[in-house]
Structure 1
Amino acid sequence: METTMRLQGAIFDMDGTLVDSMQAWKSLGSSFIRRQGKEPDEDLDEMLRVMSFQEGAAYCVRRYGLALEPEEVMRLMRAEIEDFYRFHVAPKVGVERLLSLMKMEGVWMYVATATDHPLVEIAMDHAGLTDYFRGMVTCGDAGRGKEDPEVYEMALRRLRCRKEETVVFEDALFALRTAKAAGFRTVAVYDPSEPDQDAMKAEADYYIRSFEDWTELI
């Protein structure tokens, strides 16, 4: 594969980019609250989206008067996501073909995600994507969310690739902007969870509606 980007390395987000999982995360809070016999606020899931798992659990306990400790809420929510990753998660359409081609051509690849290590391992194994990657780094490892570029910088250091020849694949606008501002080339990957696709197209170096559009990258 001869790429117009002269790729040495590639850093991929997981949820919504490599695997089709954002809907499970998007409705996690509201579905959990309903199972506790409460009616969630209309904007609950959107509020939880910008919180850490621990912050979100504590908020749910306070807001809905749950007779549970935040740690128990986290455990129960985590069990739901783990079940989804272990038995139901699927790779995004066309992603395996692109990863296979990149690996064959010597592009080194890493995962950079906000999801915790054990869940990433379960999801990647079930989706059949683990062997394409040299490793993973999480926002927990970086100590910061994706509003800060450290998770991408950590991945880059581990890959030992040149930044100008490394591309970041993201489905969320705020994360794409972070990577772009840090000097990475960026590929915007369409996912319905991101409402501002016009901005994704305008701000990324490349935009793919589906990984079946990978020919735009070669």
Structure 2
Amino acid sequence: MKLEAAIFDLDGTLLDSMPIWQGLGENYLLQKKLQPALGLQDALKKMSLQQAAQHFQAAYGLHEAEETILSEIAMLIADFYRYEVPLKAGVAEYLQQLQAQNVKMCIATATERNLAESALERLDIRKYFSTILTSSEVKVGKEDPLIYQRALEQLGAPATKTVVFEDALHAIETATAAGFRVVGVYDETAAQDKERIKALTEQYIYSFSDWKG
């Protein structure tokens, strides 16, 4: 079946950026002289930055406004996106191939827009995507399928001819439960979930040169 549209996650799928997120929450709290709880990193994996800020307020008693927390977190990672984060293997070539086949593409990410835009522009792949949707803008994280549903609406393609590319188990569980076709993308940070991801997705790839669609 000919592919008409593709919805791409950003971190861990197109960008090799997950290392910066490892320990980000802990580092932020330590800067505030607060002791991170055990398991914080796992909990934050399922949250947008906005949700993380709300969690820090509720669980750690931060008195800063949500916007201030988001700004402080963003400052910790902005330079990484602006100057350093690389593409994962085969991404540029695959996006170029899809464009040549007139496949419509968009980004659905938990990352804030300014960070996503800066990395995509520097890496010269922003041109491939008609739109970027962020969890903060749709007001829910990827435990809810809304971001994928909004992406599908904007792409204007049937779900049967649209594929979602994701690396994280919780996002893949959400998308498949909502009836989306999903391709799992390997990332080292989700290696422990590989077998579960394989069971849920129609294909599991280690790089975009492996995708057969």
| Equivalent residue, structure 2, for 1:111 | 107
Equivalent residues of 1:15, 1:113 under 8 A apart? yes
Instruction: Report which stretch shifted further, 69-78 or 23-32.
Output: 69-78
Q: Deviations over 1:160-216 (max 9, x none)?
A: 1111111000001121122222222110001122221001111100110122313xx
Deviation at 1:44, TM superposition (A): 2.3
Code of the residue aligned with 1:24 in structure 2: it is I
What CA distance in whole angstroms lies between the structure 2 residues aligned with 1:133 and 1:55? 26
Specify which of 180, 201, 206 is matched with residue 204 of structure 1: 201
Specify which of 57, 66, 73 is matched with residue 69 of structure 2: 73
Give the count of matched residue pairs: 212
Q: Which runs of 4+ in 1 moved over 6 A?
A: none
Q: Which 5+ residue runs of structure 2 have no aligned equivalent?
A: none
Normalised to the residue count of structure 2, the TM-score between the two structures is 0.88
Code of the residue aligned with 1:209 in structure 2: it is Y
Instruction: Report which stretch shifted further, 176-185 or 60-69.
Output: 60-69
The question of 1:188 aligning with 2:174 is answered no
Instruction: Report which stretch shifted further, 120-129 or 36-45.
Output: 36-45
Distance 1:132 1:43, change over 3 A: same
Code of the residue aligned with 2:85 in structure 1: it is V
Specify which of 131, 139, 152 is matched with residue 143 of structure 1: 139
| Equivalent residue, structure 2, for 1:154 | 150
What CA distance in whole angstroms lies between the structure 2 residues aligned with 1:62 and 1:116? 21
Q: Percent identity?
A: 41
What CA distance in whole angstroms lies between the structure 2 residues aligned with 1:137 and 1:7? 21
| Equivalent residue, structure 2, for 1:213 | 210
| Equivalent residue, structure 2, for 1:29 | 25
Q: How large is the RMSD of aligned CA atoms in angstroms?
A: 2.1
Equivalent residues of 1:12, 1:18 under 8 A apart? yes
What CA distance in whole angstroms lies between the structure 2 residues aligned with 1:33 and 1:60? 8
What CA distance in whole angstroms lies between the structure 1 residues aligned with 2:79 and 2:198? 34
Equivalent residues of 2:4, 2:162 under 8 A apart? yes
What CA distance in whole angstroms lies between the structure 2 residues aligned with 1:139 and 1:65? 24
What CA distance in whole angstroms lies between the structure 2 residues aligned with 1:112 and 1:148? 12
Deviation at 1:51, TM superposition (A): 3.5
